[in-house]
Structure 1
Amino acid sequence: MTRPAWLENPWKQNPWFESVAVAQERARKRLPKPVYGALVAGSERGQTIAENEAAFRELGVAPHVAGQHSKRSMETTVLGEQVSLPVIISPTGVQAVHPDGEVAVARAAAARGTIMGLSNFASKPVEEVVAANPATLFQMYWTGDRDVMVHRMERAHAVGVKGLIATLDWSFSIGRDWGSPEIPEKVDLKTAVRMAPKVGTKLRWMKQFAKAGVIPDLTAPNLAPADGGAAPTFFGAYYEWMNTPPPSWEDVAWIRQTWAELSGTPFMLKGVCRVDDAKRAVDAGVDAISVSNHGGNNLDGTPASIRCLHPIATAVGDEIEVLLDGGVRRGSDVVKAVALGARAVMIGRAYLWGLAANGQTGVENVLDVLRMGIDSALLGLGVSSTDELTPEHLLVPDGFHRALGVRPN
């Protein structure tokens, strides 16, 4: 067996971490305070972001003592793509925690046999990300007019993405009780000098970018205009969103139909937390939904995603694929979500912490941690596959579920 390189120097920190919590702590130590703050911040008092994780702790499991299976499978399909575990990468914008950004995440997802979700607010162009992982889903916000959105869909289709995700649950709340982290309009010499006291102490983080010959990029290349003009900054994209009227259900049907005619690949609506909205999504022709509250970055006070999952899966799970994102930190969280009706989960902060801690290898590490946790839970529960999971494998407290948008009898 090859001796791990880190053992040659026992004083050097082991680059491998055994939990997402350790990845988060390493990210906190490595990143400048404003950058780390942008990863962990939720809107307003942070009630929803805290609830996303806390709700998983309320769910218990009922393990067996003997008769477990020696071989266990967690393979499944998501939107027609075979994945090696029921965990895919959720799209997150401007991954400036590492110079390789979304490309490193895409490579890690490909190496671990799963899907990459790419935000149109990403810091790397869709062409580079698809080259790194052909199993990429492209995500769009409802920004710009229809011609602009068609151009973005055409660009994504041209490079071969495997599906489209429309994220509509975004209000970009800036009212945070602990203060919002500073995000500069762009990183130039003037900005670097002004922010030097906040980033100058994080030498390892700065050396990464210096070695790569780049600076943290806050532009959104996937939002570049059709005329070949410059891509907007994050705040330029935000300004476009502010000036775009919110979508109607007719708009949802339009974007789904437009994508179907252009590409013929699946369409997911992300951000659903109500049963009535899930049913409207089915009527609009979507192939999948993600039960999500935008990781606590939308309307604070929204229930945890896992509380909303089972009522939605029960209502529409026979018609479309149902995924979940929000608060997943352990393999056992994945198992709980699948048992309550999710085809798979989407992770966000977990892989960003891995990316910050150790680049592509750190993201692979996070996926490995989740895989081991899933396998351990399957073993204890006495099932041979994630396909066998049902609510009966869980201890669900009375009143746990939140069936939003359901009229009482």
Structure 2
Amino acid sequence: MPWFESVAEAERRAKKTLPPSVFNAIKAGTERGLTLSDNVAAFSELGFAPHVAGSVQNRELATTAMGVDLALPVILSPVGVQAVHPVAEPGAARAAAARGTAFGLSALGSTGIEEVVTENPKTFAQTYWAGSREAIEARVERARAAGAAGIILTLDWTFSHSRDWGSPFIPQQLDLKAMARLAPEVLRRPRWAYRWAQTKRPPALQVPNFEGSPGFFAAYGEWMGTPPPSWEDIAWLRSLWAGPFMVKGIVRVDDARRAVQDVGATAISVSNHGGNNLDGTPATIRALSAVVDAVGGQAEVLLDGGIRRGGDVVKALALGARAVMIGRPYLWGLAADGQAGVENVLDVLRNGIDSALLGLGRASVHDLTPSDLLIPDGFSRRLGA
């Protein structure tokens, strides 16, 4: 059956569909994968405190974040080159629009911002601190001209030299040599190969949202070669955009305060880049409460990392998140069944959110509080106090 009942099933189907190198590129984290594992496992340490009567028949899942209305508190996070399916970013953006939510377009995505905004007006343009100020300003202006709903500045990705488990071979370009090397595993995945054969083109490894539309690794190299930004640099970038502006990658309370008070961010995302940054960083759900307390209602706080079911979303909202952002789950859905697979993942999460609200006796996602959870001693982490 094309429909699947869980994110775990989407992952299983993605693994059966994708060449191992492609699947592992999505699955792997840095070094030992400690942060990646904790992102997911930490949710299982949180329990629910359900009611048995007094619930309402119809529950409200809608909210707002980053200046847009959301039919459910789940946003598709920016993820680079989406070669898991030929529909790529436009298909994922259409899926988000079909389910009434927003899409984050990676600066390292394989589709231009103009096309994606056409598919989903609730598109946020992600940017990295890469290249000269002139180049950064040009990308912001391009996002503005395209009609992007907001900017996501991603800071939770520093260059890691060590992906020493599940690390696949990723070619710089799909030339004959690379295709010959990958051919054996591609032949083991005929469905994926057939999808791309129908398009009469190989998976795109260009990143058109960088000037000159360079290859992924060329853009990656430009980012690596750019000195890391200061808080003054980030404030300058913020000054270029008057609308919704997210700083993604906050796990410390002192960074949260600076992002809001010194930079003027309207939203922050508690994120560790899905376990693809500094290994040993705590799970984002452990850092969430302290960041929410530090910001004090001055900005929206979202959570990114480890979401695998609707109950995880509810736990994040109970601890103060405005909404959550997902990456791997929707890529697995995209690999499994294209746009319909992404819609399927969002439906799974929606159903799980609604079920959790019913059990907790809550009429709305806005009614959730920490009292709805069983939080073990020592669960939360307060970094940078």
TM-score (norm 2): 0.98
- In the other structure, the counterpart of 2:225 is 243
- In the other structure, the counterpart of 2:245 is 267
Superposed CA deviations along residues 75-110 of structure 1, whole A, max 9, x for unmatched, are 000111010000001000000101110000000000
- In the other structure, the counterpart of 1:360 is 339
Superposed CA deviations along residues 32-52 of structure 1, whole A, max 9, x for unmatched, are 000000000000000000000
- In the other structure, the counterpart of 2:41 is 54
- In the other structure, the counterpart of 2:297 is 318
- In the other structure, the counterpart of 2:93 is 106
List aligned pairs for 1:301-340, cutoff 5 A. 301-340=280-319
- In the other structure, the counterpart of 1:9 is none
- In the other structure, the counterpart of 1:255 is 237
Q: CA deviation at 1:179?
A: 4.9
Whichever residue aligns with residue 247 of structure 1, its letter is: P
Structure 2's unaligned 5+ residue stretches are none
Q: CA deviation at 1:317?
A: 4.0
Hey, what's the Cα distance between the residues in 2 that align with 1:19 and 1:194?
34
Q: CA deviation at 1:364?
A: 0.1
Contact 2:159 2:224 survives alignment (8 Å) = no
Is 1:217 matched with 2:204? Answer: yes
What is the DSSP-based 3-state SS (H/G/I as helix, E as strand, rest coil) of the residue aligned with 1:129? Answer: helix
- In the other structure, the counterpart of 2:179 is 192
Whichever residue aligns with residue 163 of structure 2, its letter is: R
Hey, what's the Cα distance between the residues in 2 that align with 1:81 and 1:65?
34
Is 1:133 matched with 2:120? Answer: yes
What is the DSSP-based 3-state SS (H/G/I as helix, E as strand, rest coil) of the residue aligned with 1:268? Answer: strand
- In the other structure, the counterpart of 2:370 is 391
Whichever residue aligns with residue 136 of structure 2, its letter is: M
Whichever residue aligns with residue 291 of structure 1, its letter is: V
Count residues with an aligned counterpart.
384
What is the DSSP-based 3-state SS (H/G/I as helix, E as strand, rest coil) of the residue aligned with 1:222? Answer: coil
Contact 2:30 2:163 survives alignment (8 Å) = yes
Q: Would the alpha carbon gap of residues 21 and 293 (structure 1) be closer, same or farther in structure 2, given more than 3 Å must change? A: same
Superposed CA deviations along residues 184-218 of structure 1, whole A, max 9, x for unmatched, are 00112232122111212111101101112221111
Whichever residue aligns with residue 151 of structure 2, its letter is: L
Hey, what's the Cα distance between the residues in 2 that align with 1:196 and 1:153?
39
Q: Would the alpha carbon gap of residues 89 and 384 (structure 1) be closer, same or farther in structure 2, given more than 3 Å must change? A: same
Matching residue within 341, 344, 347 for 2:326: 347
Whichever residue aligns with residue 11 of structure 2, its letter is: Q
Is 1:117 matched with 2:104? Answer: yes
What is the DSSP-based 3-state SS (H/G/I as helix, E as strand, rest coil) of the residue aligned with 1:185? Answer: coil
Matching residue within 20, 24, 37 for 1:37: 24
Whichever residue aligns with residue 292 of structure 1, its letter is: S
Whichever residue aligns with residue 113 of structure 1, its letter is: G
Q: CA deviation at 1:315?
A: 1.4
Contact 1:174 1:180 survives alignment (8 Å) = no
- In the other structure, the counterpart of 1:93 is 80
What is the DSSP-based 3-state SS (H/G/I as helix, E as strand, rest coil) of the residue aligned with 1:303? Answer: coil
- In the other structure, the counterpart of 2:384 is 405
Hey, what's the Cα distance between the residues in 2 that align with 1:382 and 1:16?
29
- In the other structure, the counterpart of 1:280 is 258
Whichever residue aligns with residue 341 of structure 1, its letter is: G
- In the other structure, the counterpart of 1:11 is none
Whichever residue aligns with residue 259 of structure 2, its letter is: A
Hey, what's the Cα distance between the residues in 1 that align with 2:359 and 2:102?
27
Is 1:296 matched with 2:275? Answer: yes
Hey, what's the Cα distance between the residues in 2 that align with 1:186 and 1:325?
30
Whichever residue aligns with residue 148 of structure 2, its letter is: V
Aligned-pair identity in percent equals 62
Contact 1:317 1:341 survives alignment (8 Å) = no
Hey, what's the Cα distance between the residues in 2 that align with 1:306 and 1:242?
28
- In the other structure, the counterpart of 1:228 is none
Hey, what's the Cα distance between the residues in 2 that align with 1:191 and 1:404?
43
Hey, what's the Cα distance between the residues in 2 that align with 1:182 and 1:276?
38
TM-score (norm 1): 0.93
Superposed CA deviations along residues 301-354 of structure 1, whole A, max 9, x for unmatched, are 000000000011011141000000000000000000000000000000000000
- In the other structure, the counterpart of 1:165 is 152
Q: CA deviation at 1:121?
A: 0.2
Hey, what's the Cα distance between the residues in 2 that align with 1:158 and 1:137?
13
Hey, what's the Cα distance between the residues in 1 that align with 2:128 and 2:87?
23
Whichever residue aligns with residue 129 of structure 1, its letter is: V
What is the DSSP-based 3-state SS (H/G/I as helix, E as strand, rest coil) of the residue aligned with 2:362? Answer: coil
Bigger CA drift: 84-93 or 314-323?
Answer: 314-323
Hey, what's the Cα distance between the residues in 1 that align with 2:230 and 2:369?
35
Matching residue within 375, 386, 399 for 2:354: 375
- In the other structure, the counterpart of 1:145 is 132
Contact 1:99 1:214 survives alignment (8 Å) = no
Whichever residue aligns with residue 101 of structure 1, its letter is: A
Superposed CA deviations along residues 115-162 of structure 1, whole A, max 9, x for unmatched, are 010001001111111111011000001100100001111111101000
Contact 1:43 1:299 survives alignment (8 Å) = yes
Structure 1's unaligned 5+ residue stretches are 1-13, 226-230
